[in-house]
Amino acid sequence: MKTRPLPSELQQLSVLIATCCIDMIGFAMVLPLLPYYALRLKATPEMIGLMTAAFSVAQLLAAPYWGRFSDRYGRRPALLIGLSAAAVAYVIFGLADALWLLFLSRLVQGAGGGTTGVAQAYVADTVRPSGRARALGWLSAATSAGVAIGPSVGSLSHAWFGPMAPGIVAAALCLINVGFAWRWLPESRKPGAAATQRKPVLHAATEVIEHPGRPVSQLIWIYSVGMLAFASLTSVLALYLDAEHGVTEKTIGYFYSYVGLLSFVMRSLLLGPIVERLGETRTMRYGTSILVLGLLAYTVAPNLWVLALIIPLVPIGTALLFPSTTALMSRAAAKEDLGTTMGVAQTFAGVARVVAPILATAAFQRVGHAAPFYFAAGTVALVGLMSLKFQPISMHTAETPVPVPKPSEEGGAGR
């Protein structure tokens, strides 16, 4: 049984939720515009893929250090520095007149984006264990709302004020957010608290590769291969819509907002009742099937009106696939190894987000515009076969908080 956070916990948590939502609005403002800015500077699709992957590389490298920094110096300083780094990245993006500046913007943004885990640690510091799953769900919903709002704001600012505006507006939003967090976000970590000792994930990661048939290994492969497919789609979406349907930087934001809004509705309103009715295993299987159908349907849409009917299939599929897989993972793992298991899953997913843009943009440039969608659908089909072989897991009798996937991993924002 899940319990709600106490009013005092909710008051402290509400500031964090608002901070993360505003941060994600700024992030989502510039993400859909990146391919257009790079094309304007004569980049190839493959170069855009490397640029997209640079964010995930920087985030993977920075996240462990942000965690250690926050354990030693506190969550609040880590979040404030991360938000400030994002503001710097957005200014570079807005002023970029060379490709290396766009690369630099992505690297700085990725390094600052490594604080996602710090926000989750803040929740663990401030909310009782029985209320954390619900609190993390609220945090995920708030960031999904940011993903839905940000792209439209980015396209509007570009249309009204020119190509420099989205980066500058996002930076200004970030600086306002820093001031807001400085004034209202208290430190959550108690003075003198000992840092939690984390188990190394290398051994557990090796076991996933050496023993792919084990339940935990199956779920990690399902999660990470699904992430590979989804990241492949998001890395070429703007390029595909530009090449096939004439979507420009002045209108691309509305497509991302559409996807973000659908994802928000699915996760905040519909996912719970669906899982209660079907169970996590069947939900995971339905998610893979719907995602395959959505990826393939992109390639046959004759116009934007038909595409608008097809687009919901992908956010519906990912909303069913990823959270249910994570919930199953939390049950399949031994209780004492839960943190390590989730860490391994995020590591595999992080590698997938690095590899996917490189493969997808290379296929887009060298094979054809539809090739990345066929590649993504094929990988999800493999996930579907794995999910069919997976045996359902019974509920733990003890209360176990279910980790909530980071919105940056499946919300299309890439953060």
- The pLDDT tens digits of the residues spanning 5-41 come to 555 556 667 888 888 888 889 889 998 999 999 999 9
Task: Please say if the pLDDT value at position 404 is more than 70.
Answer: no
Task: Please say if the pLDDT value at position 397 is more than 50.
Answer: no
User: Which tokens is 359 given?
Assistant: 């493969």
User: Which tokens is 102 given?
Assistant: 């766009």
- DSSP assignment, residue 114? G
| CA separation for the pair 47, 51 (Å, rounded) | 6
**pLDDT per residue as tens digits for the range 331-345:** 777 766 665 676 677
Give the pLDDT score at 323. Answer: 82
Task: Please say if the pLDDT value at position 373 is more than 70.
Answer: yes
Segment 114-124 mean pLDDT: 70
Segment 79-83 mean pLDDT: 90
Q: What percent of the chain has pLDDT over 70?
A: 82
Of residues 70 and 273, the one with the higher pLDDT is 273
Segment 173-196 mean pLDDT: 77
| CA separation for the pair 54, 105 (Å, rounded) | 10
Q: Shortest CA distance to 404 belongs to which of 281, 319, 289?
A: 319
| CA separation for the pair 345, 217 (Å, rounded) | 9
**pLDDT per residue as tens digits for the range 254-270:** 999 998 899 888 877 88
Q: Shortest CA distance to 93 belongs to which of 152, 173, 41, 168?
A: 168
Q: Shortest CA distance to 26 belongs to which of 159, 168, 142?
A: 168
Residue given tokens 């390029």 in the structure block: 239
| CA separation for the pair 93, 168 (Å, rounded) | 8
- DSSP assignment, residue 270? I
Give the pLDDT score at 398. Answer: 37
* pLDDT bucket at 407, cuts 50 / 70 / 90: very low
Q: State the CATH architecture for 7-187+201-410.
A: Up-down Bundle (1.20)
Task: Please say if the pLDDT value at position 123 is more than 90.
Answer: no
| CA separation for the pair 193, 198 (Å, rounded) | 15
Segment 290-310 mean pLDDT: 95
User: Which tokens is 135 given?
Assistant: 């609190």
Spell out the residues 6+ positions from residue 70 whose beta carbon is closer than 8 angstroms to its own.
Answer: 77, 78, 115, 118, 121, 189
Yes or no: say if 35 and 156 are a contact pair by the CB < 8 Å rule: no
Give the pLDDT score at 9. Answer: 58
Please state the pTM of the whole predicted model. 0.79
